[in-house]
Amino acid sequence: MASAFFNPRYLALARKHGFTLYTIEGDIEYLSKLLEGETITIQGQQYQVTKNEFKLVQKT
């Protein structure tokens, strides 16, 4: 079962430094290539890339 809590600050840090983010669902390696305005879904929640962070846009 996936964790109900995910801190989007981890996404921003991984994107900024080019790191891979490891989750129960799988590895996310391409965060640094996402453009502002694009979205990504992690653990059933959709996040939108902003200038310096990821904003939760849809919670399922």
Report pTM. 0.77
Greater confidence (43 vs 56) lies with: 56
H helix or E strand, kind and range, residue 41: strand 39-42
Q: What's the burial of 4, exposed, middle or buried (CB within 10 Å: 0-12/13-18/19+)?
A: exposed
Please write the tens of the pLDDT for every residue from 28-48. 888 889 999 999 988 888 999
- Residue 11: CB atoms within 10 A of its CB come to 20
Cβ pair 5, 41 in contact under 8 A: no
- Beta strands at 54-59 and 39-42: parallel, antiparallel or unpaired: unpaired
